[in-house]
């Protein structure tokens, strides 16, 4: 039996529209802070992980976690940049890791040894220097550890770079960029992430809003935005 919703007055729609208008006004006035930029230092990370019990690791003792830990309650936008020369072998490594993880999941379930919940890996390679772009409402330091492969991501997909790059020698050079935002921008993180993804065209991961804003924004409408 069909359920018909009857509104005697348009208040729900007006209230929602006004909320969107307020968000868009705030979005149009955003000024990004200086980014946190960090070249992933695998030797330091490996030495740190091998000399510290996982439960006792003081991540604040190494860069960039010392800075990120001070902003755990802040939203943030982040992305990873790779060298052009590494793109092909990175994509191959992720494709192989995705197939392996899906096989483990199918045969032994989510708790299978060696299974990692990798982010979306497209069937064909995208030409881009950006490996992945994302956003968080809080706890950027924790999300970075997940992407690096030093913390499980649960039901949310992550890069698990340490595991994916295990057999790549030398390890690809990666630079992490993050914009830590004021707390009042928390409700706008997906919108800001969408702009970053459209501009950077990341190789991996799904688009914010799953393309729902494609009819509103186009590459042409974003051409004047610099990141």
List the pLDDT tens digit at each of the 227 positions of the chain: 455 656 556 667 788 888 888 888 888 888 899 999 999 999 999 888 877 666 667 888 899 999 999 999 999 999 999 999 999 999 999 999 998 888 887 777 666 777 888 999 998 878 899 999 999 999 999 999 999 999 988 888 999 999 999 999 999 999 999 999 999 999 899 999 999 999 999 999 987 665 455 444 444 444 445 56
Whether residue 195 is contained in a domain is answered as: yes
Q: Which positions ≥6 away from 226 have C-beta within 8 Å?
A: none
**Cα 195 to the chain's mean position, in Å?**
13
Q: Is 11 within the bounds of a domain?
A: no
Q: Residue 85: inside a domain, yes or no?
A: yes
Instruction: State how many domains the chain has.
Output: 1
For tokens 């770079």, name the residue.
161
80: Cβ contacts below 8 Å, ≥ 6 apart: 130, 131, 132, 133, 147, 159, 174, 175, 176, 177
Whole-number Å distance between alpha carbons of 84 and 90? 10
**Is 150 inside any structural domain?**
yes
In a domain, 94, yes or no: yes
**Residue 183 domain-assigned (yes or no):** yes
Task: Sort residue 226 into left (φ over 0), alpha (ψ -120 to 50) or beta.
Answer: beta
Containing structural domain, residue 72: 32-51+58-211
CA distance 160 to 156: 12
* Within a domain: 74: yes
For residue 74, CA distances in Å to 24, 77, 93, 146, 155 come to: 20, 10, 33, 18, 22
* 223 found inside a domain: no
Secondary structure of residue 6 in the 3-state scheme: coil
Tokens coding 122: 């497209």
Q: How far apart are the first and last CA of the chain?
A: 51
pLDDT in tens, 144-202: 999 999 998 888 899 999 999 999 999 999 999 999 999 999 989 999 999 999 999 99
């Amino acid at each position: 039996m069909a359920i018909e919703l009857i509104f005697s007055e348009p208040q729900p729609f007006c209230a929602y529209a006004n909320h969107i208008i307020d968000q868009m006004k705030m979005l149009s006035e955003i000024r990004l802070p200086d980014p946190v930029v960090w070249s992933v230092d695998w030797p330091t990370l490996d030495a740190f992980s091998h000399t510290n019990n996982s439960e006792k690791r003081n991540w604040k003792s190494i860069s960039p976690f010392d800075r990120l830990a001070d902003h755990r309650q802040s939203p943030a936008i982040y992305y990873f940049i790779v060298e052009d020369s590494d793109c092909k072998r990175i994509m191959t490594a992720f494709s192989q890791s995705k197939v392996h993880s899906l096989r483990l999941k199918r045969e032994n379930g989510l708790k299978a040894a060696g299974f990692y919940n990798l982010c979306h890996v497209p069937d064909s390679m995208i030409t881009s220097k950006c490996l992945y772009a994302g956003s968080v409402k809080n706890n950027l330091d924790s999300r970075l550890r997940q992407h690096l492969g030093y913390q499980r991501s649960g039901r949310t997909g992550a890069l698990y770079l340490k595991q994916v790059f295990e057999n790549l020698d030398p390890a690809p050079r990666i630079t992490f960029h993050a914009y830590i935002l004021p707390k009042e921008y928390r409700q706008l993180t997906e919108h800001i992430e969408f702009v970053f993804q459209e501009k950077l065209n990341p190789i991996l991961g799904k688009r914010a809003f799953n393309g729902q804003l494609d009819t509103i924004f186009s590459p042409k409408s974003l051409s004047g935005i610099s990141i």
